[in-house]
Structure formats: structure tokens, C-alpha cells
A and B are shown apart, each in its own frame.
Chain A
Amino acid sequence: MDVKELRSLFPALGRKVYGKPLVYFDNAATAQRPQSVIDEWTRISVESNANIHRAVHLLSEEATEAYEAARESVRMFINAPDRSNIVFTSGTTASVNLVAFSFGEAFVSEGDEVIVSECEHHSDIVPWQMMCQRKNAVLKVLPTDDTGHLKTGLLDSLITDKTRIVCVTHISNVLGLVNPVKDIVRISHLRNVPVLIDGAQGIVHTKVDVQDVDCDFYVFSGHKIYAAPGTGVLYGKRQYLEKMPPYMGGGEMVGTVRFSGTTYAPVPLKFEAGTQNFAGAATIRPALELASQISDDRELDRYSCSVRDFLLDSIMSEARIRLYGVPDDRDEKIPLFSFSVDGVHHEDLALILDKMGVAVRSGQMCAEPLMDRFGVTGMLRVSLAPYNTMEEAVYFMECLHKAISMLG
């Protein structure tokens, strides 16, 4: 498949903004949706709209089938051992909150420690802070160096007998560098500490094999990998999921309910309280089918690497631009570039680029500690998907130069 064919699958990419063709470079915030995802959402809503896991009528059976088929497609996509390892949530944030609460209830006591990295976004910091406050536990931080690489060498000395979990992002949404998660898991497991990997960006840009990485939890959102918004995944090892109490109660997450007490459904249903986003979840299947097709396509891969390399070289060669997340080797960088321009505010650049048809992100990117780390109040971020073209990248650089010269 070439990039043109791929683009034709995404109706939103044909859109014009302010009379100009849309250049969508905010994919790390959310990706556009292919027609197959839109069709599946419509199909469920038109043909099979019924609540799942409870009724015996045909529509409910069809909706349940689509929902469980999506669970199987996630299992295959990340090579989880079993469907029961896959819990559906509303997104990465909900998945981390679920683990922070339920893992905290089961395994964390006063004085215990939780390790997060300095390059986490708020969704992998705040839930742990909240849990630590509730449990009187201590939050410790694994730092990054000036190029944005995690100081993995410090992890072993940060872990103590009190460490209960290590939480680290696969790829920071600001730095765009693939973290050595397999090493982090190995180091942590040698000390008998489980690891949660935030895969919000990692699931989109790397091939994830949870059994190979051997992580204990892996979380991601559907909407960043072409599925409907409001969908998310928590992969967890059974040994933990089974010991963790439910996060929310109600709906079909039960075994039996009596006023004298309730027993819970087996995993994963124990964690899926209330009516689920079944129309959204069903779209994960066509979304992951496309994602697999894209990642197996060598022509598309070569192309997107060439676009990434062009942007990396262009940005690195500008004396006025400071890139955050500088790779040692190109292949550890995803096509995501956060930077600042000397003497020019990120908001001004984003406003002007928008009027030129280029959608980028500016601000703190939900990662204030990382902004503080690099001593800035915000950054400009461009994040590409496989459907972005070299022409768009070249146009973006022209627009960036024009915006910089307008702003002086």
C-alpha cells in the first residue's frame, strides 16, 4: 500500500481548513478514524444496538459478539496469553486509575513506595499520587537526562524493599523516544517489583508483545490507534488482576448480589462495571486490523521513516530551534517532535500555523513536570501518523519559517 491509498481510507484527511488542505500533525493527541471504524460504529448502532453480556435476544448476542471479538483482536495485537488478560476501559487514563486504585488496595500499605519516571504525562502521575496520599505511601521519580533519555541506570538503586510497583511510559508524548521498557522490566523483576507500562504512544509506533516484554500491566487508548474515542485497554497478568478488588461496582461485574454481600465475576468482567461503551469497543477490531496491516507494510514503513528523518534533520539543523528528546540513534525516535524556538512563543506559532492549515499542539502537553525539567512554560509539538506525507512535512517546514519570520 502507498501513502495515497492509506490516506483514502480516512475521510477526515480530505478536509479543508480556512480554505487550505488540512495538514493534521496532532496525531499524538488523537488519530483520525478510517472508514472501517466509522462503519463498525454505525453497524452496531443501526443493526445490533443492545446491551451486552445480559440478555438472550439476538441483538444482545450480536453486540456481545462484536465486543468480545474486539477483545480477541486486542489479545492478538499485543500477544497476550488469554482474553481474560484484557480489560476494556474508557482510555489510558481510566486504565491507570483502575490499576492505581485496585492494585493500591491489594498491595500497597503505609510507607511503601511507587516509582514513576520524570517523563510521564499527568495520567501516569496523578493517579499514583492520589493512591500514595490515600495509603500514606511515597512517590519516587526516575529522572531523565538532558537529551530526554531515562536514566535507567539509576533504577536499581531507586528500588528498595518497600517498592511495590514501577510505572513508566513506553514512549513519552513529549519526547518521542522509545524507552528501554524490556530492561526496566528485567531490572524491576530481579527485585520482585511489577511494572506498568503506559502504552498510549507506544502501541501506535512499536510492535508490542506483552509476553516478550514481560510487563505486568500495559495500558493504552483506542482513539490514538484509529478506534473510537472513549475506548481503552488494560492488559494485566492474571496473578495481579485476580487479587485486585474491583474499581467500580454495579452492572454485570458480579457473581451473586445479596444485601448480606456480593461475589464478583471472574476477570476481566470484574473490572467492567455498568454498561460498557460497546459500540466504541467494537471499533477496536477494525482499527487494530488496519494498524497491523500498516505495521506489516514495508513500503509504508520505509516512507514514514523517510518523513521522520526529513523532519528530524530539518529541525536539528535550525540554530534557533531547541528539540526536546534528541535520539542517539534515529530508530529510537518516533515521528514526534516537541521543540521551542528562541524568542518566539509556542502559542503564537500554533495560532499562525493553524491559519495556514497545519494542526499542531502547543502548551504543556499534560506533562508539567517535564516542562519544568526543561525550564519552559510550554512547547510546540508536531506528531505524525503513517498517513502523513513528505509533501505535508515540507509544507510544514515552510510554514514554520514563515511564522517565525512574522513573529520576529
Chain B
Amino acid sequence: MEKSLQEVENEVVDEFSMFDGWLDKYEYLIELGKALKDYPEDKKTEDRLIKGCQSRVWLDCSIDGGKIFLNADSDAIITKGIISLLIKIYSGRTPQEILSSDFSVVDRIGLKENLSPTRANGLVSMIATIREIASENL
């Protein structure tokens, strides 16, 4: 049986609890970021761009068979690593499943500072956009 969204969230949290130090955690995120599947250049458009004071994030959403599919990219590799985690958890889920999450996973793996309310933080906006799309497609 397919794993529930919460099960995948817990898996991600477990994965990160194995790292002792910050730098190991970042090494892993950098690897994930590099391994994230290519985001098509022609979809790096203004309307898909979430501008930030720090990194930029492009988010492309599509809906197929009642499920929301996410594809995203960033110019910063650590943010890209976190994006890869978000895609793993939230892509291919129904709006109901997405909205059943409290989105605390980034905080739980100790990356809260990546969600700090600096001006137009790309990741914060990405999470808000995923929620919005889920609510609109309920």
C-alpha cells in the first residue's frame, strides 16, 4: 500500500535525525539539491517565480486525476535540497492529503531559519502557494 503523507513526513524527519552536526545535514541537502530532477528552462517564467531577498524559487504545479503534481527549482542549492524534500512529501497527493499536513516538517528537521520571515522568502511563499492550490482544488 502507498505510504501516507504523514508516513513520508516522518521518514524525512527520521532521516535527518541521523545527522549529528549541521554541516552533515547541509552536505545531505546539497546532495539532494544536486539530484533534484531537471526543471525545464522554459518554465522559469515570471509568473512561476517567487522572488526573494535571498534565493529565487520557481514553482510549477499541475493537476492530474485529482492529484497535485509539483515541480520546482531554485538558484540556491540548499533551498533546492529542501524543495526536493517538499516535492517528495507533497507532490502526487490529493488536496485533502496536502491540507491534512501542518507543514511543520521543515521546522522538525531543524531548518527553521530557512523559513525565517525575511522579505519574500522563497520557501515560505512556496509552502503558502502549495496550500493555496490545495484549497482551491478541494
B78 lies within 8 A of A348 (CB)? yes
Partner-B contacts on A (CB < 8 A): 18, 345-348, 350-352, 354-356, 362-364, 377-378, 406-408
Q: B56 contacts A377, CB within 8 Å?
A: yes
A355 / chain B contacts, CB cutoff of 8 Å: 22-23, 26
Cβ-based interface call for B30 (8 A)? yes
Beta-carbon nearest neighbor of A351 in chain B: B78
A-B contact pairs, 15 of them (CB 8 A): A345-B55, A346-B54, A347-B55, A347-B76, A348-B76, A348-B79, A351-B78, A352-B26, A352-B78, A355-B26, A362-B54, A363-B54, A406-B27, A408-B30, A408-B77
Given contacts A352-B78, A355-B23, 9 further A-B contacts (CB under 8 A): A18-B22, A345-B77, A348-B76, A350-B54, A354-B113, A363-B118, A407-B30, A407-B77, A408-B77
B79 near A347 with CB under 8 A, answer yes
Q: Smallest Cβ distance from A402 to chain B, in angstroms?
A: 9
CA distance in complex: A378, B17 (Å): 32
* Contacting pair A364 B53 (CB below 8 A): yes
For A18, the closest partner residue in chain B by CB is: B22
The number of chain B residues touching the other chain, given as a range, is 10 to 19
Q: Could you tell me which residues of chain B, from 1 to 43, have a CB within 8 Å of some CB in chain A?
A: 22-23, 26-27, 30, 34
Q: In the assembled complex, which residues on chain B have CB atoms less than 8 Å from the CB atom of A378? A: 53-54
Q: CA separation between A408 and B78, bound complex, in Å? A: 12
Give the CA-CA distance A319 to B26 in the complex, in Å.
25
Specify the chain A residue showing the minimal Cβ separation from B77.
A348
Output the nearest chain A residue to B54 by Cβ-Cβ distance: A347
A363-B54, A364-B53, A378-B54 known; A345+B26 contact, CB < 8 A: no
The CA-CA distance from A153 to B114 in the complex, in Å, is 44
CB distance from A22 to the nearest CB of B (A): 15
Rounded to whole angstroms, the CA-CA distance of A345 and B56 in the bound complex is: 10
Residues of A within 8 A of B56 (CB): 377
Max chain B Cβ within 10 angstroms of own Cβ: one of A351, A363, A378 = A351
Contact A363 B26 (CB under 8 A): no
Q: How far is the CA of A346 from the CA of B56 in the complex (A)?
A: 11
Contact of B23 among A345, A348, A364, A406 (CB under 8 A): A406
User: Assuming the A-B contacts A347-B54, A355-B23, are A377 and B78 also in contact, with contact meaning beta carbons closer than 8 angstroms in the complex?
Assistant: no
Instruction: Find chain A residues with CB under 8 A from B54 CB.
Output: 346-347, 350, 362-363, 378
The answer to whether the Cβ of B75 comes within 8 Å of any Cβ in the partner chain is: yes
B75–A352 CB distance below 8 A: no
- Cα(A348)–Cα(B56), bound, Å: 12
Considering the chains assembled together, what is the distance between the CA atoms of A378 and B120 in angstroms? 14
A351 touches B53 (CB 8 A): no
Q: Tell whether, in the assembled complex, residue A352 and residue B55 are in contact, meaning their CB atoms are under 8 Å apart.
A: no
Q: List residues of chain A with CB within 8 A of the CB of B22.
A: 18, 355
B23/A363 in contact, CB under 8 A: no
B113 neighbours in A (Cβ, 8 Å):
351, 354
Expressed in whole angstroms, the Cα–Cα distance for A406 and B31 within the complex equals: 10
* Interface mask (B61-76 → A, CB under 8 Å = 1, otherwise 0): 0000000000000011
State how many angstroms separate the Cβ of A205 from the closest Cβ of chain B: 25
Q: How far is the CA of A351 from the CA of B56 in the complex (A)?
A: 15
Q: List B48-96 residues whose CB lies under 8 Å from chain A.
A: 53-56, 75-79
Shortest Cβ distance from residue A351 to the other chain B in the assembled complex, whole angstroms? 6
- Which A residues are in CB contact (< 8 Å) with B34? 408
Question: How far apart are A384's CB and chain B's nearest CB, in angstroms?
Answer: 22
Query: Which 9 residue pairs are nearest across A and B when measured between Cβ atoms?
Result: A345-B76, A355-B22, A347-B54, A363-B53, A347-B76, A347-B55, A348-B78, A363-B54, A348-B76
B26 touching A406, Cβ below 8 Å: yes
Enumerate chain A residues within 8 angstroms of B78, measured Cβ to Cβ: 347-348, 351-352
Cβ-defined contact, A351 with B27, below 8 A: no
CB proximity of B6 to chain A, nearest CB, Å: 28
B89-128 Cβ-contact flags toward A at 8 Å (1 or 0) = 0000000000000000000000001100010000000000
User: Which of A346, A350, A407 has the largest count of B CB atoms less than 10 A from its CB?
Assistant: A407
Nearest chain A residue, comparing its CB with the CB of B27: A406
| Residue among A350, A356, A377, A408 with the highest chain B CB neighbour number at 10 A | A377
With a cutoff of 8 Å between Cβ atoms, the chain B residues found around residue A351 in the complex are 26, 78, 113-114
B97 CB to nearest chain A CB (Å): 30
How far is it, in angstroms, between the C-alpha of A405 and the C-alpha of B138 when the chains are bound? 45
Whole-angstrom distance from the CB of A191 to the nearest CB of chain B?
38
